[in-house]
């Protein structure tokens, strides 16, 4: 059995001597940062294991000014999308040897400012992943002033590297799928004004829907633009009113999220309608329940987005040549179109 008191006295210089490499190489090999050949890395790991040495991240942080801690800001953890993004980011950060601190800012007055000013100025974080939070120019300036990079997820932010889908284009494609099947009587379940706060996601998806309808020469019925929340229950109630209203019902529904689409499918079933024979339904997200309900959707893989956003941030923290003042590189994430059983040709075209 290894003597813990002896192990505690082992230094990084001891490991370097045993491995026959420099102290800097040991630090890079054990921290996972910087370029180290596979041969040298293996020698360092074997020497550290034999000596019982564990790199002290506290000491490393004091020396580097880094905490190896990344803040992830989300509006809420109660929504499936945000919790799934968080899962992906957490996995990527854990693999890279970083801790994650979660900031649930949506329901706390001044919560965003606490993260951007108080915590960052006290250097508790190395950087921030801001999920579905549209940072203002002043907020971005605060981050840059203290030398802490930020990556946004959910929409474009000026001066910040971001990862997001093109909500307008994806909504257009979803609507074009229904139009291509022969549907003309199409309703849209959208978000209420409270969801317009950051990146105006409901508005962009509604505009994509309207653009596709306009280009196809199909009129949008105002009473079929139905605002609701992004929940199964809220959409279920709204869809029952929509499908049960006098004066005819739509043959298809484009929902701004999968949870709303699932609520619409359940509403149709509760009213004795068959999906897709009586009404087709399409969503956007890639919700884990989508396959169970046979939902046609655009899968935006939130867990993968979370992981990629975390890696984008870590790449900004990694030592390397200067970017010469170039703007941070942003990416558009392309969702996968998944056709299932919830969409079909309308009855009158069969």
User: Is 198 found in the same domain as 288?
Assistant: yes
Q: What is the mean pLDDT of the chain?
A: 86
User: Is 152 found in the same domain as 107?
Assistant: yes
Mean predicted confidence (pLDDT) in 294-308: 97
Domain membership flag for residue 43: yes
C-alpha closest to that of 100 among 263, 264, 307, 327: 307
Task: Report the CATH number at residue 22.
Answer: 1.10.260.40
pLDDT tier for residue 246 given thresholds of 50, 70 and 90: confident
Domain membership flag for residue 345: yes
Task: Report the CATH number at residue 156.
Answer: 3.40.50.2300
C-alpha closest to that of 284 among 260, 306, 257: 257
Domain membership flag for residue 181: yes
- Asked whether the predicted pLDDT for residue 314 surpasses 50, the reply is yes
Helix 201-215 crosses helix 167-180 at what angle (to 10 degrees)?
Answer: 40
Question: Rounded to an integer, what distance in angstroms lies between the CA atom of residue 346 and that of residue 344?
Answer: 6
Domain membership flag for residue 139: yes
Domain membership flag for residue 119: yes
- Domain range for residue 293? 167-299+336-349
User: Is 198 found in the same domain as 341?
Assistant: yes
Mean predicted confidence (pLDDT) in 74-95: 92
For 195, counting Cβ atoms within 10 Å of its Cβ (0-12 exposed, 13-18 middle, 19+ buried), the class is buried
- Asked whether the predicted pLDDT for residue 237 surpasses 70, the reply is yes
User: Is 184 found in the same domain as 93?
Assistant: no
pLDDT in tens, 22-37: 877 887 777 665 677 8
User: Is 267 found in the same domain as 177?
Assistant: yes
Domain membership flag for residue 328: no
pLDDT tier for residue 284 given thresholds of 50, 70 and 90: very high
Higher pLDDT, 319 or 172: 172
- Asked whether the predicted pLDDT for residue 191 surpasses 80, the reply is yes
> Total domain count for the chain?
3
Mean predicted confidence (pLDDT) in 202-213: 96
- Asked whether the predicted pLDDT for residue 60 surpasses 80, the reply is no
**Predicted local confidence at residue 339, as pLDDT:** 98
User: Is 342 found in the same domain as 212?
Assistant: yes
- Asked whether the predicted pLDDT for residue 166 surpasses 90, the reply is yes
User: Is 174 found in the same domain as 158?
Assistant: no
Higher pLDDT, 17 or 144: 17
**Range with the poorest average pLDDT among 65-79, 177-191, 204-218, 238-252:** 65-79
**Predicted local confidence at residue 106, as pLDDT:** 67
Mean predicted confidence (pLDDT) in 187-197: 82
- Asked whether the predicted pLDDT for residue 75 surpasses 80, the reply is yes
User: Is 280 found in the same domain as 221?
Assistant: yes
C-alpha closest to that of 209 among 183, 243, 248, 235: 183
Secondary structure class of 338 (helix, strand, coil) = strand
C-alpha closest to that of 105 among 86, 77, 79: 77
Domain membership flag for residue 64: no
- Asked whether the predicted pLDDT for residue 110 surpasses 70, the reply is no
**Predicted local confidence at residue 1, as pLDDT:** 43
Q: State how far the alpha carbon of 231 is from the alpha carbons of 256, 257, 258, in Å.
A: 11, 9, 9
Domain membership flag for residue 63: no
User: Is 119 found in the same domain as 183?
Assistant: no
User: Is 202 found in the same domain as 99?
Assistant: no
Specify the DSSP element, H or E, that contains 23.
helix 23-31
Q: State how far the alpha carbon of 103 is from the alpha carbons of 107, 197, 205, 294, in Å.
A: 11, 18, 27, 34
User: Is 315 found in the same domain as 290?
Assistant: no
User: Is 233 found in the same domain as 98?
Assistant: no
Share of the chain above pLDDT 70, in %: 83
Higher pLDDT, 176 or 64: 176
């Amino acid at each position: 059995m290894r003597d813990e008191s002896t192990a505690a006295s082992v230094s990084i210089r001891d490991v370097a001597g045993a491995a026959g490499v420099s102290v800097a190489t040991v630090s890079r090999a054990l921290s996972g940062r910087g370029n180290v050949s596979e041969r040298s890395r293996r020698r360092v790991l074997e020497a550290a294991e034999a000596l019982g040495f564990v790199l002290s991240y506290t000491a490393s942080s004091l020396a580097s000014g880094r905490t190896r801690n990344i803040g992830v800001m989300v509006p809420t953890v109660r929504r499936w999308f945000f919790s799934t993004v968080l899962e992906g980011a957490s996995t990527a950060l854990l693999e890279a040897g970083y801790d994650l601190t979660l900031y649930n800012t949506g329901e706390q007055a001044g919560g965003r400012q606490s993260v951007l000013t108080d915590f960052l100025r006290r250097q508790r974080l190395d950087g921030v992943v801001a999920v579905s939070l549209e940072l203002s120019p002043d907020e971005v300036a605060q981050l840059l002033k203290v030398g802490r990079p930020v990556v946004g997820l959910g929409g474009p932010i000026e001066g910040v590297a971001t990862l997001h889908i093109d909500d307008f284009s994806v909504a257009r494609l979803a609507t074009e799928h229904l139009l291509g099947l022969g549907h003309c009587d199409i309703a849209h379940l959208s978000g209420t004004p409270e969801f317009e706060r950051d990146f105006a996601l409901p508005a962009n998806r509604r505009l994509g829907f309207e653009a596709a309808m306009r280009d196809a020469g199909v009129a949008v019925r105002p009473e079929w633009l139905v605002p609701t929340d992004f929940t199964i229950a809220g959409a279920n109630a709204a869809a029952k009113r929509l499908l049960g209203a006098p004066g005819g019902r739509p043959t298809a529904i484009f929902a701004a999220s999968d949870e709303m689409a699932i609520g619409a499918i359940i509403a149709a079933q509760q009213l004795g309608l068959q999906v897709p024979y009586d009404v087709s339904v399409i969503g956007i997200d890639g919700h884990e329940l989508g396959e169970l309900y046979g939902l046609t959707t655009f899968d935006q893989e939130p867990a993968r987005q979370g992981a990629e956003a975390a890696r984008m941030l870590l790449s900004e923290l990694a030592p390397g040549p200067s970017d010469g003042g170039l703007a941070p590189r942003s990416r558009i994430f392309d969702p996968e179109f998944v056709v299932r059983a919830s969409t079909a040709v309308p009855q009158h075209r069969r």
